[in-house]
Structure 1
Amino acid sequence: MSTATATLQRPELGDFSSIVCFKAMVTGAEEALGEKAAAIALISAGRQRGKQLVESLGLSQGSPEAAIPLIQKALGKDGTRLCLIDKADFGDTIRVYCRETICSSGESQGSPRQLTYTMGAVQGALEALTGKRLRGKQVESVLRGGTHDVIEFETLG
């Protein structure tokens, strides 16, 4: 997934852009669409990206536990740098522990900012791996005293 192994879409600039530009897109979408509509759009875009990621890695439905290390690499410092995933707990719900998320970056402590695109990307990847529709919600935030941005996913009927 690194630029060394993938074909660059932009030969001179490479495939990455700045967090500052991404955050400007988020706040611009919130201003234009409203906070809730922008969140829906960003989560949806993230879900699509997560599904594409699983496909690009050649992963198929099966054990998401076994695929987590590959997702960690693809989203982390050797991949797109969207976030670092430290662990995922699988039970009745799936809890994913992230840090250095693009959504929380640059935000001040106490900010009400929620994970949107990041949550969507993780959700899309897990949906592609499990074959199940999930509903995600952020249950902890580094912006509000947590050690991680924690996302909890429940399976929808």
Structure 2
Amino acid sequence: MSSVAIPAVNQLRTELGDFSSIICFRAIVTGTEDALGEKAAAIALIAAGRQRGKQLAEQLGLTGVGINSEKIVSLLQAALGKDGTRLCIIDNVVADGEKILVYCRETICSAGELQGSDRKLTFTLGAIQGVMEQVTGQRLRGKQVESVLRGGSFDVIELEVLG
């Protein structure tokens, strides 16, 4: 894979750097679920992810490039993978008729969950949805259709265009 230049962002903390732990992220998720209920928390986390995804797409110059752009996967791998924020690894983005399938692994939302858990992607789903909305210029509805927690090889996000 070729090296991809990610726009520089000023470091937010001088000593600790810009990263936090999955343990803290999970505490935010479960605390939000306890305070708001599972459905309301999912809505809030997906919305937060969508906002982040839209910002990221703009930073990466992906706005309006279209789903068939070869640079989408490499830029998202660099920005969200082990050399970026470590939200997840994106292995593939596939346009399948009216749907877009995004194949992810090591998602922050699935990390540390036991096999068989009914945990669903929320923030990760929202972030991917936000990026793809900017890429396509269309409003999308996302849902998780496969999970590594329930026997899948990937966490798969399916996005469909809203009428």
Q: TM-score, length-normalised on structure 2?
A: 0.91
Contact residue 94 and residue 153 of structure 1 kept, 8 A: yes
Q: Distance in 1 between matches of 2:90 and 2:78?
A: 9
For residues 114-135 of structure 1, give each alpha carbon's deviation from its aligned partner in whole angstroms, at most 9, with x where no partner exists. 0000000000000011110000
Give the aligned residue type for 1:22.
F
Give the aligned residue type for 1:74.
A
Q: 2:92 aligns with which of 83, 87, 94?
A: 87
Q: State the Cα distance separating 1:56 from its structure 2 match.
A: 1.5
The answer on 1:74 being equivalent to 2:73 is no
Identity, in percent, stands at 65
Q: How many residues align?
A: 157
**Aligned-residue RMSD, C-alpha:** 1.8
Q: State the Cα distance separating 1:2 from its structure 2 match.
A: 9.1
The answer on 1:14 being equivalent to 2:17 is yes
The answer on 1:119 being equivalent to 2:125 is yes
For residues 45-98 of structure 1, give each alpha carbon's deviation from its aligned partner in whole angstroms, at most 9, with x where no partner exists. 000000010111233212233223212211111111000011111122000110
Contact residue 94 and residue 152 of structure 1 kept, 8 A: yes
The answer on 1:106 being equivalent to 2:109 is no
Q: Distance in 2 between matches of 1:9 and 1:59?
A: 24
For residues 19-63 of structure 1, give each alpha carbon's deviation from its aligned partner in whole angstroms, at most 9, with x where no partner exists. 000000000000000000000000000000000101112332122
Which consecutive residues of structure 1, in runs of 5 or more, have no partner in the other structure? none
Match of 2:60 in 1: 57
Helix, strand or coil at the partner of 1:63: coil
